[in-house]
């Protein structure tokens, strides 16, 4: 499907899902986050940024309270 053939939002959403569904295996789970630890040469800031990036990939999405805990 090309962009010229998309006339509604649901068609756009479907085209997006079809294009990127192959990345769904990248979704993290809560156990992976719980198992994360700070690397030997990793600063806390680097660790926190890595944690936040991975937590954004968790499906179903985390509540804000879960991330801060």
pLDDT, tens digit (0-9, with 9 covering 90-100), for 21-53: 765 555 567 788 888 899 999 999 999 998 888
pTM of the complete model beyond 0.85: no
Query: Where exactly are the structural domains of the chain?
Result: 3-68
Q: Is 38 helix (H, G, I), strand (E, B) or coil?
A: coil
pLDDT at 64: 73
Handedness of CA 45, 50, 56, 62 (dihedral sign): negative
């Amino acid at each position: 499907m090309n962009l010229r053939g998309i006339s509604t939002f649901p068609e756009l959403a479907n085209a997006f899902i079809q294009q990127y569904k192959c990345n769904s295996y990248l979704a993290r789970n809560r156990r992976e986050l719980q198992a994360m630890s700070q690397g030997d040469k990793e600063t806390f800031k680097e660790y926190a940024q890595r944690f936040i990036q991975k937590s954004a990939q968790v499906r179903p999405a985390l509540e804000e309270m879960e991330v801060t805990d």
